[in-house]
């Protein structure tokens, strides 16, 4: 089996490249990454894993993908600028990079007759409803950041390619990732709060967000979901919400306090301030036979343990 992963060395990708050989022993994994975040450590220790690895350093927009995708069983599209909050400051750059990268990969997949596993985000939801699922109306899709707007634009592109050109694809709207990996970063909520708490910094919480409910995804559930889709050839042109649990920011803070009791909160303003609390449903993906086994609280424990010795109670 040949699997191509664009954006392979990031938080999710660096875990995926180590997990897929467990499910597909001896597979060939082609990793593409432009190294903009210099996550060289994501490549450490791969020689000990039962897989054939090939690394291509370069930007997808500059590469000739035809030969790379030839014979691939799937292309996993993880290549993106992912900082939703900072996306307000780099709106044009983010849309140019993220949307055009997905477009180029989709076009190359069509040429190679290869399916694409596309990662979107639950941040495309800006609903005022109590709960939301994949069947919600366009009016309920009210993305609150340039990052989320671009993800929604990518989803529509793939849907159009599926209808007009027969592109085989699946889109997963991932919740906010939590959990450790060689290529992890600390700009998303759970990781950032863990870093701030361990370093006795005030947790920077959006002023309106403390009791807003949002979807979070255990990284182990994330990589298992990716493997599940590939194993079951689920490139059905559908969109699936993939998340471990809906939790409030306060829930996350209370989980951190188990290990670091004295936590200070600094409330801050942000451009993403007008969303209300809601639950994201995951039943559609579960009905395919996938079982979520993760724990956001356990991933918080793991992340804190990276920085300090913690007595687990």
Do domains 2-177+217-242 and 179-213+245-278+293-307 share one topology? The answer is: no
Q: What's the CATH number of domain 2-177+217-242, 1.10.3720.10, 3.30.300.30, 3.20.20.70, 3.40.50.720?
A: 3.40.50.720
CA distances from 41 to 37, 69, 178, 183 (A): 11, 25, 19, 7
CATH says 179-213+245-278+293-307 is which class?
Answer: alpha beta
- DSSP code at position 172: E
Q: Per-residue pLDDT tens for 198-227? A: 988 889 887 777 888 889 999 999 999 999
pLDDT of residue 273: 47
Other CB atoms within a 10 A radius of the CB of residue 37 amount to 15
Question: What does the alpha-carbon distance between residue 130 and residue 11 come to, in Å, rounded to a whole number?
Answer: 30
Angle at which helix 296-307 crosses helix 249-257, to 10 degrees, equals 50
pLDDT of residue 83: 60
Angle (CA) 160-161-165 rounded to 5° is 125
Question: What does the alpha-carbon distance between residue 225 and residue 135 come to, in Å, rounded to a whole number?
Answer: 20
Task: Please provide the DSSP assignment of 13-80 as one string.
Answer: HHHHHHHHHHHSTT-EEEEEE--TT--GGGGTTGGGSSSEEEEEES-GGGS--HHHHTT-SEEEE--S
pLDDT of residue 32: 97
Question: What does the alpha-carbon distance between residue 12 and residue 19 come to, in Å, rounded to a whole number?
Answer: 11
- Domains of the chain by residue range: 2-177+217-242, 179-213+245-278+293-307
Question: What does the alpha-carbon distance between residue 289 and residue 181 come to, in Å, rounded to a whole number?
Answer: 26
pLDDT of residue 309: 64
Which pTM was predicted? 0.93
Low-confidence ranges of the chain (pLDDT < 70): 82-91, 127-128, 270-276, 309-313
Q: Which of 142, 183, 134 is nearest to 283 (CA)?
A: 134
| Region for 113 from its dihedrals, namely left if φ exceeds 0, alpha if ψ lies in -120 to 50, beta otherwise | left
Q: Which of 85, 115, 123 is nearest to 243 (CA)?
A: 123
């Amino acid at each position: 089996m040949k699997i191509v992963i664009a954006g392979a060395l990031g938080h999710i990708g660096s875990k995926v490249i180590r997990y897929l050989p467990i499910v597909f022993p001896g597979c060939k994994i082609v990793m593409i990454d432009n190294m903009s975040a210099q996550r060289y450590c994501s490549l450490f220790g791969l020689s000990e894993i039962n897989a054939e690895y090939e690394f291509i350093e370069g930007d997808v927009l500059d590469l000739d993908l035809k030969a790379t995708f030839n014979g691939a069983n799937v292309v996993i599209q993880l290549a993106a600028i992912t900082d939703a909050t900072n996306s307000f400051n780099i709106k044009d750059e983010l849309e140019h990079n993220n949307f055009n990268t997905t477009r180029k990969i989709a076009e190359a997949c069509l040429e190679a007759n290869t399916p694409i596993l596309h990662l979107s985000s639950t941040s495309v939801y800006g609903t005022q409803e109590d709960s939301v699922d994949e069947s919600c109306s366009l009016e309920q899709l009210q993305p609150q950041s340039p990052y989320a707007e671009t993800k929604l634009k990518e989803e529509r592109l793939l849907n159009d390619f599926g209808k007009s050109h027969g592109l085989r694809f699946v889109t997963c709207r991932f919740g906010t990732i939590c959990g450790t990996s060689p290529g992890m970063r600390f700009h998303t909520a759970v990781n950032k709060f863990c870093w701030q708490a361990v370093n006795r910094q005030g947790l920077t919480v959006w002023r309106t967000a403390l009791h807003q409910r949002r979807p979070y995804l255990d990284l182990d559930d994330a990589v298992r979901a990716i493997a599940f889709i590939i194993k079951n050839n689920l490139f059905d042109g559908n969109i699936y919400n993939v998340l471990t649990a809906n939790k409030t920011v306060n829930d996350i803070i209370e989980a951190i306090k188990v290990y670091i009791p004295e936590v200070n909160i600094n409330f801050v303003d942000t451009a993403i301030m007008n969303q209300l609390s809601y639950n994201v449903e995951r039943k559609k993906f579960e009905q395919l036979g996938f079982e979520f086994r993760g724990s956001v609280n356990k991933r918080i424990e793991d992340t804190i343990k990276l920085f300090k010795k913690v007595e687990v109670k």
